[in-house]
Amino acid sequence: MTAPKKLFIKTYGCQMNVYDSERMAEAMGGQGYVETQSADDADMILLNTCHIREKAAEKVYSELGRLKPLKDLKPDLKIGVAGCVAQAEGAEIMRRQPAVDLVVGPQSYHRLPAMEAKVRAGGTALDTDFPEEDKFEHLKGRGPKGKRNPAAFLTVQEGCDKFCAFCVVPYTRGAEVSRPAARVLEEARDLVERGVREVTLLGQNVNAYHGHEGGLSGLIRDLAKVDGLERIRYTTSHPNDMDDDLIAAHGEVPELMPYLHLPVQSGSDHILKRMNRSHTAESYLRVIERIRAARPDIILSGDFIVGFPEETDADFEATMELVRQVKYGYAYSFKYSTRPGTPAAERTLVDVDVADARLQTLQSLITRHQREIQESMVGRDVSVLIERAGREAGQMLGKSEYLHSVHIENCTGQIGDIAKVRIVEAKTNSLTARHL
């Protein structure tokens, strides 16, 4: 028997890339590959890339530059680029870095085994199509069915039709496509058999999901009936797709966790309009109000862009005001990054120092809120899905229903258990708890 070949995958960007990397590793299992955690002993290296901001895309080229000497030492090593940079730049990647053998876009992963065979035979392979066939079906069950971490991602929707003026996703991931509910349910049951207790449903615009006649909430209600599946989350959503039943589900489905990532991007109506967001600050706040009425303890999270072209001090202040009103448990803020080919790319930029200063101001407000919410958890009883053992004896780590990382001291539970705990301390990035 020949020794298995080793595959090293480095994942950048969002959770969907994490999911895609897992599926690619499984698909390559069928080609005799096992995963390795180090580039040095790999026979094939795949970078699963992100194109959302310029920095993310540039990182890929510097990483490829670092990998090239490895290939000089080991000519049989194959290097591939997957993900959104692959989709956006295609053959240009091989021109800029000839050490790259293979470029595969996010919609063509199921063709990876055939592409690998082609590069093994000495050629190069490029596929950035949006093929008709269902990649999820082609990827299914290729690899060995190993035990899984109790919390897993499950992609249910891909692509986006919203065309926010700053965003590359509608171009790199294409039009909105939903997987049929039956397939998602089948995959969820399979994950449960492999030890999964919590799924996070993924999509670039997941609440536009239409693979179930009842939309995303219909899918969630069906998933909640799957035996052994204890927790459901979904990300990432658009405020305009928070329909009545999805909001109601937050109050009615106990398996749906009280945490919601609902990006708004800006608190200024002028900027929201220029961003082509199709909602106002006020309509966003109304949605939040209704979600909080359905599930009063819900923790909210959001995304913000500062320094969007033409953003004035008053626009920025409107964003600060919206953050003060919502008080997010978590929030991610980014400085606007020009993406070639998007409508906003043509517009006049805000002075870089002004944008930097705004980012800092916003981030310190968000961090203060985050900290206050973490501290308000002290003394409360929460449930934690145990995901792994901690460094100290008797310590276990997991996530609360609110997605806080929790260290449980003197824990008597096992990985995959949902432990009832009392929070005793709030640290910078985690909470400490006592097992009840």
Output 61 or 334, the one with its CB closest to ligand SF4. Answer: 334
- Residue 38 CA: distances (Å) to CA of 78, 120, 147, 175, 358: 14, 20, 21, 35, 39
Under the binding rule (CB under 6 A), the answer on residue 170 touching ligand SF4 is yes
Q: How far is the CB of 305 from ligand 5AD (least distance, A)?
A: 5
Instruction: Give every CB contact of residue 1 below 8 A, 6+ residues apart in sequence.
Output: none
CB 143 within 8 A of CB 24: no
Under the binding rule (CB under 6 A), the answer on residue 339 touching ligand 5AD is yes
Site mask for ligand 5AD (CB under 6 A), range 49-78, x = bound:
---xx-------------------------
Q: What share of the chain is helix, strand, coil (3-state, %, to 5)?
A: 40, 20, 40
Under the binding rule (CB under 6 A), the answer on residue 242 touching ligand SF4 is no
Cα of 335 vs its chain's centroid, Å: 19
Q: How far is the CB of 238 from ligand 5AD (least distance, A)?
A: 10
Output 55 or 371, the one with its CB closest to ligand 5AD. Answer: 55
Under the binding rule (CB under 6 A), the answer on residue 204 touching ligand SF4 is yes
Under the binding rule (CB under 6 A), the answer on residue 266 touching ligand SF4 is no
Which residue is associated with the tokens 């706040």?
285
Site for ligand SF4 in 205-224 (CB under 6 A): 205
Task: Give dist(CA 232, CA 198) in Å, integer.
Answer: 6
Site for ligand 5AD in 265-284 (CB under 6 A): 265
Of 113-121, 237-245, 273-281, 329-337, which segment contacts ligand 5AD by CB under 6 A? 329-337
CB 383 within 8 A of CB 401: yes
Name the CA radius of gyration of the chain, rounded: 22
H/E run at residue 57: helix 54-73
Instruction: Classify strands 259-261 and 231-235 as parallel, antiparallel or unpaired.
Output: unpaired
Sheet with strand 299-306: strands edge to edge: 259-261, 299-306, 330-335
Of 210-218, 267-275, 331-339, 398-406, which segment contacts ligand 5AD by CB under 6 A? 331-339
170 touches which of ligand SF4, ligand 5AD, none (CB within 5 to 8 A by kind)?
A: ligand SF4
Under the binding rule (CB under 6 A), the answer on residue 235 touching ligand 5AD is no
Selected binder of ligand 5AD within 203, 215, 258, 263 (CB under 6 A): 263
Under the binding rule (CB under 6 A), the answer on residue 169 touching ligand SF4 is yes
Q: How far is the CB of 395 from ligand 5AD (least distance, A)?
A: 33
Burial 230-250 (b: 16+ CB within 10 A, else e): bbbbbbbbbbbbbeeebbebb
Of 102-110, 151-159, 274-282, 336-344, which segment contacts ligand 5AD by CB under 6 A? 336-344
Q: How far is the CB of 162 from ligand SF4 (least distance, A)?
A: 4
Site for ligand 5AD in 136-175 (CB under 6 A): 166-167
DSSP annotation of 404: -
Q: Which two tokens stand for residue 41?
A: 């002993």
Of 19-27, 166-174, 226-234, 323-331, which segment contacts ligand SF4 by CB under 6 A? 166-174
Q: What is the DSSP string of 302-365?
A: EEEEES-TT--HHHHHHHHHHHHHH--SEEEEEE----TTSGGGGSPPPPHHHHHHHHHHHHHH
Output 169 or 247, the one with its CB closest to ligand 5AD. Answer: 169
The alpha carbon dihedral of 408, 411, 414, 416 has a sign of: negative
Under the binding rule (CB under 6 A), the answer on residue 87 touching ligand 5AD is no
Of 43-51, 128-136, 155-163, 370-378, which segment contacts ligand SF4 by CB under 6 A? 155-163
Given the rule CB under 6 A, which residues bind ligand 5AD?
52-53, 166-167, 263, 265, 303, 305, 334, 336-337, 339
Given the rule CB under 6 A, which residues bind ligand SF4?
160, 162-164, 167, 169-170, 204-205, 238
